[in-house]
């Protein structure tokens, strides 16, 4: 059996039928054809999911089902175990890939062996309008600096070099779900090069059922933990980032008791009571109007 160059990895759980069909068809209609499409059903309670997937008579689809619900991180790891390809194209069950996405990413990885992660921008779909672009930095240097303070690689648009993950024994970490993708990219800082196309590779659905919205508090908590380890493990780069992008201000009672501390970043401002209790964070969204 011929081994495909690319494995497209898609976890599925109780996806709306129209979203799942658009997802599947956007991959089957790619201009690049040397791929397998591994779809893993994480024990959906909706029995229609399997019917939808099996309605596509395409030999490139590899369909599997978890016996029990494993959650997103373990399901993503199982997808990588099932995959046979040299490159892993991450793709979520409710997004849409543009037709030349795989072609462009494969060509870039083939011609840049030092790069282990390639992604791009995304057009953001909402219930109200489709006129925003999720913008991300382009160069590896800019990406790795940004990762120390915020996620800047669009996960469902990315392609990963399998050999890099295996060399450093990196996979998704359940302890950081639902920010497992950010943790994976941060583990790769300093170990490989990154690249983001400055054009949209996917249409990203931003709706109320997204994990980002449903588990926002846990997302923020785990994001802080991820930032702690990536800053600690990349101390020299962190010193440079702090010098360029960080300003701290404290308001003290009687000149010695810190009442309020404000940390200003290039993309957000964090407020702390007594210097260590998080109050709130004001974030500049990474997308803007076209």
What tens-digit pLDDT sequence spans the chain (290 residues)? 799 999 999 999 999 999 999 999 999 999 999 999 999 999 999 999 999 999 999 999 999 999 999 999 999 999 999 999 999 999 999 999 999 999 999 999 999 999 999 999 999 988 766 568 999 999 999 999 999 989 999 999 999 999 999 999 999 999 999 999 999 999 999 999 999 999 999 999 986 555 554 577 899 999 999 999 999 999 999 988 877 666 677 788 766 677 888 877 666 787 878 776 777 777 655 554 43
3-class SS of residue 83: coil
Residue range(s) defining the domain that contains residue 282 = 247-290
Q: What pLDDT does 261 receive?
A: 81
Strands 6-12 and 35-41: parallel
Q: Which of 173, 168, 172 minimizes the C-alpha distance to 188?
A: 168
3-class SS of residue 22: helix
Report yes or no on 241 lying in a domain: no
> Do 94 and 206 sit in the same domain of this protein?
yes
Collect all residues with Cβ–Cβ distance below 8 Å to 257 and sequence separation of at least 6. none
> Do 71 and 198 sit in the same domain of this protein?
yes
CA angle, 87 then 155 then 197, to 5°:
75
Q: What pLDDT does 90 receive?
A: 98
- What pTM was computed for the model? 0.84
| Count of the separate structural domains present in the chain | 2
Q: What pLDDT does 137 receive?
A: 93
Report yes or no on 24 lying in a domain: yes
> Do 41 and 113 sit in the same domain of this protein?
yes
Expressed in angstroms, the distance from the first to the final Cα of the chain is: 45
Residues 29 and 103: beta-carbon distance below 8 Å: no
> Do 75 and 133 sit in the same domain of this protein?
yes
Report yes or no on 242 lying in a domain: no
**Beta-carbon count within 10 A of 41 CB:** 22
Q: What pLDDT does 285 receive?
A: 55
User: What DSSP assignment string belongs to 119-182?
Assistant: EEEEEEE-SS---EEE----SHHHHHHHHTTS--S-GGG-EEEHHHHHHTT----GGGTTSHHH
Q: What pLDDT does 289 receive?
A: 41
> Do 170 and 44 sit in the same domain of this protein?
yes
> Do 219 and 285 sit in the same domain of this protein?
no
Report yes or no on 232 lying in a domain: no
> Do 198 and 254 sit in the same domain of this protein?
no
Report yes or no on 255 lying in a domain: yes
> Do 206 and 254 sit in the same domain of this protein?
no
Q: Which of 220, 202, 201 minimizes the C-alpha distance to 211?
A: 220
> Do 95 and 152 sit in the same domain of this protein?
yes
Residues 284, 288: Cα–Cα separation, whole Å = 10
Pick from 170, 194, 226: which residue ends a domain? 226
Report yes or no on 112 lying in a domain: yes
> Do 32 and 152 sit in the same domain of this protein?
yes
Report yes or no on 234 lying in a domain: no
Report yes or no on 240 lying in a domain: no
68: exposed, middle or buried (C-beta count within 10 Å: 0-12, 13-18, 19+)?
exposed
> Do 80 and 172 sit in the same domain of this protein?
yes
Residues 85 and 36: beta-carbon distance below 8 Å: yes
> Do 217 and 255 sit in the same domain of this protein?
no
CATH number of the domain at 188, please. 3.90.550.10
Residues 150, 285: Cα–Cα separation, whole Å = 11
């Amino acid at each position: 059996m011929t081994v495909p160059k690319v494995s497209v990895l898609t976890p599925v759980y109780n996806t709306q039928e129209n979203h799942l069909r658009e997802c599947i068809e956007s991959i089957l209609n790619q201009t690049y054809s040397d791929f397998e499409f591994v779809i893993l059903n994480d024990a959906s309670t909706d029995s229609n999911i399997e019917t939808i997937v099996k309605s596509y008579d395409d030999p490139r689809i590899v369909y599997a089902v978890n016996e029990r619900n494993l959650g997103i991180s373990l399901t993503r790891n199982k997808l990588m175990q099932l995959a046979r390809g040299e490159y892993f194209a991450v793709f979520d069950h409710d997004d849409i890939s543009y037709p030349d996405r795989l072609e462009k990413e494969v060509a870039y990885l083939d011609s840049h062996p030092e790069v282990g992660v390639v992604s791009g921008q995304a057009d953001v779909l909402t219930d109200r309008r489709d006129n925003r672009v999720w913008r991300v930095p382009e160069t590896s240097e800019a990406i790795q600096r940004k990762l120390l303070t915020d996620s800047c690689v669009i996960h469902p648009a990315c392609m990963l070099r399998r050999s890099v993950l295996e060399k450093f024994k990196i996979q998704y970490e359940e302890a950081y779900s639902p920010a497992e993708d950010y943790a994976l990219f941060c583990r790769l800082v300093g170990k490989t090069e990154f690249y983001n196309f400055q054009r949209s590779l996917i249409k990203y659905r931003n709706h109320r059922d997204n994990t980002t919205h449903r588990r926002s508090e846990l997302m923020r908590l785990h994001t802080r933990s991820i930032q702690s380890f990536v800053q600690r493990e990349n101390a020299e780069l962190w010193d440079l980032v702090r010098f360029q992008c960080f300003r701290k201000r404290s308001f003290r009672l009687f000149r010695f008791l810190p009442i309020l501390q404000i940390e200003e970043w290039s993309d957000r401002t964090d407020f702390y009571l007594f210097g260590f209790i998080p109050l709130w964070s004001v974030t500049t969204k990474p997308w803007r109007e076209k």
